[in-house]
Amino acid sequence: MSDQTLGSLVETAPPKGQNILERISTVLSPHDGPHPLHAPEIDGNAWDYVKDCLDTGWVSSVGKWVDRFEDMITQTTGARHAIATVNGTAALHAALYAAGVRPGDEVLVPSFTFVATANAIHYCGATPHFVECEAQSLGLDPAALDQYLDMTLTCRDGQFVNRHTDAPVRAIVPVHCYGHPVNMELLRGIVARYNLTLIEDAAESLGSFIGDCHTGRFGRAGVLSFNGNKTITTGGGGAIITDDELFARRLRHLTTTARAGDGTELIHDAVGFNYRMPNLNAALGCAQLETLDSKLKSKQILAARYADALEGLEGVSTVTHPKWGRSNYWLNAVLFETQQARNAAFSELNEAGYQCRAVWTPLHHMPMYCDNPRMGLSVTEDLSARGLLLPSGAGLPLSEASSSTDR
Ligand SMILES: *Cc1c(COP(=O)(O)O)cnc(C)c1O
């Protein structure tokens, strides 16, 4: 408080950005070179496992590492089945397609997400219908959605349709944004009431739970990503998790070009996709999954250090896990009071070697999605203008803790 009094006496008080820089540099020492937003950490058995693929020649889409990787995913998430894919976008596309999303359908999806979520819907010929998010988790807002659907949908022959477009509203794809779980307990009621197919975009939330339930396990299927910037990586890769055995079998079939028969002849009994993860990538993934717990722990510590360092800093608030779930803290987001303050901090931190990035630009601001159906998105627009992402990789070198909250 005495600092504040002092500050107000000085005519040219330092801008807010300078303050955040000083605070952040108590967490990550500025002398260690630039701090990337989220760099992959290749460690553990990665070299041995990948070398095994190279030595044996099993590098492509069949091999023991794919099976092992899928087993490890089921163990990590608790899901009965996991189907590894070439990337998370392909996993989303396959899951939506296998769940029956077809041309002319609408699919509810937040505007505040990575473009892949909406693209996967578009690949099915369906229309992304954008819904609002809330400030606590940055994820879909079930309360606002409930009100909106009540006004917007009507039931025709057992199928809910958009009363303005007449299109069937088939599915919903919540996104666990930056690892923070969406309020699934509330959302589930809405999903049931409007008979929606629930496919979770859990691309960012490996290791995030609500109670004992891993994100991605609340509906028909969940989708993970192992892109280079995610919590663990396979170079590029994704997975679909589901408890539904028939659905899992259909997905395995669809993602391996719908191959049928006993292998004597090349027979395909549907138009499938070449979406299976190669063995080479799965080998890396197995090594990465072995280190998941330690990576998650490092991320918890980093998030706590950021929250501690930024506490009490005027005009800045940290986004922490929502009260209903546990976050993997994939990326640490902070909110400024204005877009101007956010942009100033962005420049200042980046120049000082802290690689930051603005949070998602709303998808309804992008040219291909600007005319899509949508509800009021004022919270989305506000958060998008004020949010900044801080360096968040598990391997970032923390400075010596000067605070008592460090562990
Ligand atoms: C990373 C990501 C995906 C999938 O991305 P890929 O790069 O295709 O693995 C999908 N949705 C969200 C929200 C993501 O962050």
User: Which tokens sit at 217?
Assistant: 């396990």
Which atom number of ligand 1 is nearest to the Cα of residue 223? 10
Q: Is it true that domain 3-40+292-402 has CATH number 3.90.1150.10?
A: yes
With 50 as the cut, is the pLDDT of residue 404 above it? no
**Predicted confidence (pLDDT) at residue 232 exceeds the cutoff of 50:** yes
Say if residue 383's pLDDT is above 80.
Answer: yes
Please report the pLDDT score of residue 89 as a whole number. Answer: 98
Q: Is 205 in the pocket of ligand 1 (CB under 6 A)?
A: no
Give, for ligand 1, the residue of 137, 178, 199, 225 to mutate: max count of ligand atoms closer than 8 Å to Cβ.
Answer: 225
Q: Which residue has the tokens 């663990």?
A: 232
* β-bridge mates for residue 172, sequence order: 108, 198
Check whether 12 has a pLDDT greater than 60: no
- What is the arithmetic mean of pLDDT over 37-63? 93
Q: What's the CA-to-centroid distance between 336 and ligand 1, angstroms? A: 26
pLDDT at 228: 95
Could you tell me the distance, in angstroms and rounded to a whole number, from the CA of residue 168 to the centre of ligand 1?
26
- Burial (0-12, 13-18, 19+ Cβ within 10 Å), 330: buried
Tokens standing for 78? 């608790």
Q: Which residues pair with 27 in a beta bridge?
A: none
Choose among 146, 113, 143, 147: nearest CA to 130. 113
Number of Cα atoms under 13 Å in the Cβ half of residue 403: 18
Ligand 1 binding pocket includes 88 (Cβ within 6 Å): yes
116 touches ligand 1 (CB under 6 Å): yes
Cβ(225) – ligand 1 distance below 6 Å: yes
pLDDT grade for 14, boundaries at 50, 70 and 90: very low
* CA–CA distances in Å: residue 38 to residues 24, 63, 278, 301: 16, 30, 24, 15
Q: Is the pLDDT confidence value at 6 over 90?
A: no
7: pLDDT strictly greater than 90: no
Which pairing describes strands 169-172 and 159-162: parallel, antiparallel, or unpaired?
Answer: unpaired
The strand pair at 267-268 and 259-260 is best described as antiparallel
Q: Atom of ligand 1 at shortest distance to CA of 238?
A: 9
pLDDT at position 95 over 80: yes
Q: Is the pLDDT assigned to residue 1 strictly greater than 70?
A: no
- Do the beta carbons of residue 390 and residue 334 sit within 8 Å? yes
Ligand 1 lined by 300 (C-beta under 6 Å):
no
Residue type, 364: H
Mean pLDDT calculated for residue range 230-259: 97
Q: State whether the beta carbon of 204 lies less than 6 angstroms from ligand 1.
A: yes
What's 323's DSSP letter? T
**Residue 290 token pair:** 């072995």
Contacts of 184 (CB under 8 A, 6+ apart): 174, 210, 213, 215, 218, 324, 325
How many angstroms separate the CA atoms of 24 and 43, rounded? 26
Return the ligand 1 atom nearest residue 120 CA: 10
pLDDT of 358 > 80? The answer is yes
Which pLDDT tens digit goes with each residue over 162-219? 999 999 999 999 999 999 999 999 999 999 999 999 999 999 999 999 999 999 999 9
Q: Identify which has the larger pLDDT, 330 or 12.
A: 330
* Spatial separation of the C-alpha atoms in residues 76 and 326, rounded to whole Å: 15
Q: Which fold has domain 46-290?
A: Aspartate Aminotransferase; domain 2 (3.40.640)
Q: Tell which one of 204, 223, 224, 240 to mutate to probe ligand 1, the residue whose CB is within 8 A of the most ligand atoms.
A: 204
CA of 343 to the centre of ligand 1 (A): 25
Measure the CA–CA gap between 223 and 92, rounded to whole angstroms. Answer: 6
Which is the closest atom of ligand 1 to the Cα of 177?
A: 13
- Average pLDDT of the segment spanning 10-16: 44
Alpha carbon of 116 to ligand 1 centroid (Å): 6
Residue that the structure tokens 């803790």 belong to: 401
Pick from 180, 227, 359 the residue to mutate for probing ligand 1's pocket: most ligand atoms within 8 Å of its CB.
227
pLDDT tens string 292-340: 999 999 999 999 999 999 999 999 999 999 999 999 999 999 999 999 9
CA 335 – CA 342 distance, rounded (Å):
8
CA of 92 to the centre of ligand 1 (A): 9
| Ligand 1 atom nearest residue 225's Cα | 9
- 12: exposed, middle or buried (Cβ count in 10 Å: 0-12, 13-18, 19+): exposed
pLDDT of residue 18: 54
Task: Please indicate whether the domains covering 3-40+292-402 and 46-290 agree at the CATH topology level.
Answer: no
Residue ranges of domains in the chain: 3-40+292-402, 46-290
Question: Please, what is the angle between helix 245-255 and helix 88-98, to 10°?
Answer: 120
This prediction has a pTM of 0.94
29 has pLDDT over 90: no
